[in-house]
Amino acid sequence: MPTKRLLVLLLLGTPIAVIGFFMGTGYGAFWLYNGLVCVASVLDWLTLPKRKDLELRRVLPEQSDIGQSFLVEVEMTNRSGQTVSYVLMDDLPHSFAEAGPISGRMESGESRIAYQTRGCERGNYSFAWLYLRWSGKIGLWYRQSRFSFPQTIKIYPDLSQVRGYLNSLQESLIVDGKKILRRAKAGSEFHAIREYVPDDDPRTINWSASARSRRLMTNQYRPEHGKVITILVDCGRLMGVEQNNQSRLDQSLESALTLAAVALRQGDQVAFLAYSHEIKTYIPPGRGMGHLHTILEATYDLSHDFVEADPAKALEFMHRQQKRRSLMVLFSDMENYLVEDLLASYLWKMRRSHLFLLLSQADPLLHEWTRVPVENSRLAYIKSVAQRFQLDRRAFQQKMTGAGIQVLDVPADQLTLTVINAYLEIKAREAL
């Protein structure tokens, strides 16, 4: 393909021919100039490096977190014996941040270039082709070709909260700068002996250890290990609604993985179920931090379906699978709780053998409409409808609370903090 330099040279032949015409040598100047351009073009074409002289290899990480930038390197081998000017474009998946064309000069031998991009959606993505356009010494022609180098990368949910907890050895867990409730004295299982502090219960003082160390020592207890936590995540239509550039499913999945990490670190077993109108993924209960990787590998590419979710089918499935008493934490939308007729009956049937915690992300738009000043009849109607929806949500919460089922309707940015606090409080009360 011709370069811009060749096109410019051809256009310059027109004024040269015009000047030669006025000087009486028009045809001679025209043929001389174009002949020189033609000779240079042929020489450039013959010396242009062939595709077999070039080789490209992409170096890609195996995984990355959603929204986090990562480095992609391209190793280039030039066996043509000459310096090559190039423009490189990678075949990025559609949901990745565009890196743009990369231009430079490729010396003879091996060289390496790098660029940064990021995945904006969870899932497993493929990188197929590398597109290269290069020119020779004179720069009148360039070749363009694509190099096949298939690779895949996994884009995981944002695991910063999970890593923040796993790296913390504090008695009080900190998430997003907020202290999470953790009552170290709660529980009946002996954990350790430590030095007494003024806030400790005097009934837990260990007099034998105090006599040996000549310091006041106290027993430290913790809730019993080995409980079963079952996490259910709704993947229906309503979970695809975006808030603050993040879908409800993404937010719920990140909170669910953080809860799984906390529960596994506490010594409990964790099961995971994803559903929409059918069961999408089920992971039986397991323990240990290695089980967190199993859950992550099975759920990182979950996507919402364009159908209504069926939580009753998910509970029916869990009723058959989970015979042992467990804490069932359901991440869904309040509208699904309100319109699903069979859900309440399954909750009532299973509440004696399982402990339930229902979670929903509050709708900020609905909250804003309930506070809008009434200036005309249209705003009055919208505000009354929004308040009606809010009353329905509160009525459902009160009904479930009366049946011993905890329902939390919280803003999306407080979902993780709320669910971990609720779990640790249940553990501290030994309600499970």
CATH number of the CATH domain containing 125 = 2.60.40.10
Q: What is the pLDDT of residues 313-365, one digit of tens each?
A: 899 899 888 888 999 999 998 888 887 767 878 888 888 889 999 999 888 88
Whether the pLDDT of residue 283 is over 90: the answer is yes
Q: Is residue 310 part of a domain?
A: yes
Residues 161 and 409: their CA atoms lie apart, in Å, by 21
Rounded CA separation 431/229 (Å)? 13
Query: Are 217 and 210 contacting, i.e. CB atoms less than 8 angstroms apart?
Result: yes
The candidate with the shortest Cα–Cα distance to 254, out of 326, 156, 330, 364, is 156
Range of the domain at 107: 60-131+146-156
Average pLDDT in the 208-237 region?
A: 85
Contact 273, 279 (CB under 8 A): yes
Residues 345 and 403 in one domain: yes
**169: in domain:** no
| In contact, 255 and 176? CB cutoff 8 Å | no
Sign of CA dihedral 178, 180, 185, 190: negative
**Domain contains 52:** no
Looking at this protein, which amino acid is placed at residue 21? F
Number of folded domains in the chain?
A: 4
Whether 218 and 83 map to the same domain: the answer is: no
Q: What is the pLDDT of residues 41-64, one digit of tens each?
A: 888 888 888 889 999 999 999 999
Give 387: exposed, middle or buried? Use CB within 10 Å, 0-12, 13-18, 19+.
middle
> What are the helix (H) ranges across 322-363?
334-339, 341-350
Average pLDDT over residues 304-313: 90
Per-residue pLDDT at 172 exceeds 50: no
Measured in Å, how far apart are the chain's first and last C-alpha atoms?
72
Q: 199 is written with which tokens?
A: 């806030």
- What CA–CA distance (Å, rounded) separates 90 from 102? 9
Q: Is residue 185 part of a domain?
A: no
| CATH number of the domain to which 272 belongs | 3.40.50.410
The predicted structure's pLDDT at residue 181: 44
Question: Which among 160, 158, 153 has a CA at the least distance from the CA of 125?
Answer: 153
**Are 344 and 313 in a shared domain?**
yes
Per DSSP, 324 falls in state S
Higher pLDDT, 27 or 105: 105
Do 107 and 202 fall within a single domain?
Answer: no
Residue pair 116/71 in contact (Cβ under 8 Å)? The answer is yes
Same domain, 74 and 207: no
pLDDT at 25 over 70: no
Using the Cα atoms of residue 280, residue 285, residue 289 and residue 294 in order, give the sign of their dihedral. Answer: negative
In a domain, 138, yes or no: no
pLDDT exceeds 50 at position 273: yes
Same domain membership, residue 241 and residue 207: no
pLDDT reported for residue 293: 92
Residue 305 has pLDDT above 70, yes or no: yes
Residues shown for the chain = 432
Are residues 239 and 108 both part of a single domain?
Answer: no
Contact 123, 219 (CB under 8 A): no
Q: What is the model's pLDDT at position 36?
A: 85
Residues 124 and 269 both lie in one domain: no
Residue 2 has pLDDT above 50, yes or no: yes
301 and 355 share one domain = yes
Question: 64 and 34, same structural domain?
Answer: no
Give a yes or no: residue 54 inside a domain: no
Mean pLDDT of 299-312: 90
pLDDT attached to residue 37: 83
Task: Compare 124 and 17 and report the one with higher pLDDT.
Answer: 124
Higher per-residue confidence, 29 vs 326: 326
Whole-angstrom CA distances from 182 to 36, 115, 137 are 84, 44, 70
Share of the chain above pLDDT 90, in %: 35
Q: What percent of the chain has pLDDT over 70?
A: 89
162 vs 234, residue with greater confidence: 234
Tell me if 406 sits within 8 A of 360, measured CB to CB.
no
How far, in Å, CA of 382 to CA of 374, rounded? 9
The answer on 353 and 278 residing in a single domain is: yes
Q: Is residue 141 part of a domain?
A: no
Q: Is residue 55 part of a domain?
A: no
* Residues 321 and 404 both lie in one domain: yes
